[in-house]
Each structure stands twice: as C-alpha cells, then as structure tokens.
Structure 1
Amino acid sequence: MTKIVPENKARQGHWGWHALRILIAGLLLAFIAWGAVEIYGELIKSPTTQQTVPQAPPSGQKPANG
C-alpha cells in the first residue's frame, strides 16, 4: 500500500549552510576564472593603436625635394 505524505512534508531536503557554501564557492571560482581571462586577454592584445610620427631629418642635412 502506498503511503500518503502531506505536501508540506514531501520535500527532498532543505536549503542550508552546505548549499550556500557550495554556491558561494562556485561564484568565487567564476570570478577567479574571469579575472585570469581578463589578464591573459590584456597580455596578448596586439598594439593596434600606435601612431607613427615622421622623424625630422638630422640637423645638417636638407630634405630632398623631387
């Protein structure tokens, strides 16, 4: 015969400190991974915004006009 259990007693478990610790640990690990990826991304970024400034000729020479 099947046992009849009231709805408020038919829970598998309750949220407690153990579940909270696991959620916080997962969040901290996600932040650590995010930070590592950000640092790695900054290290491998190629310098595409460098501006080249034309250099003036040395003081004893005249520029060649063609």
Structure 2
Amino acid sequence: MLRSGPLVLGALVWLGVAPAAQALPAFARRFNLACGACHSAVPRLNAFGEEFHMNGFKPPGTTGPSA
C-alpha cells in the first residue's frame, strides 16, 4: 500500500497542472442557440442535442447539407 502512495500523489499533481479545456461553442454560434439548447450539463446532451447529433449536426426536422 505504501508503494502506491507516490504514484497516486504523482497522478494527482499531474492532473492538477493539466491545462483547462478551452471548448468553443461553434455549433451554438453557427445556429444562434445557447449551449443549453443541446446540453443539460457539459458534455452531456439533452434530447434536442441527441437528435441534433444523430441528424448529422443539423437542427432536428431539417434535411439536406448542414448550414
């Protein structure tokens, strides 16, 4: 058990210094929607977000190439 202590401590330090993710709300800007239109809690999608994803990243109910 004592042998894993430094490994666990090293992993925690490594995770602590990792840079924060810089997500860009490209789809929200592209379709003039708030991020909450597709996400219940990032990165989890709500029903609209799931349908948007399954529809090839086009708003539900639309057809043809994405805008």
Q: TM-score, normalised by structure 1?
A: 0.33
Higher strand share: 2
Q: Bigger radius of gyration, 1 or 2?
A: 1
Q: Which has the higher contact order (CA 8 A, sep 6+)?
A: 2
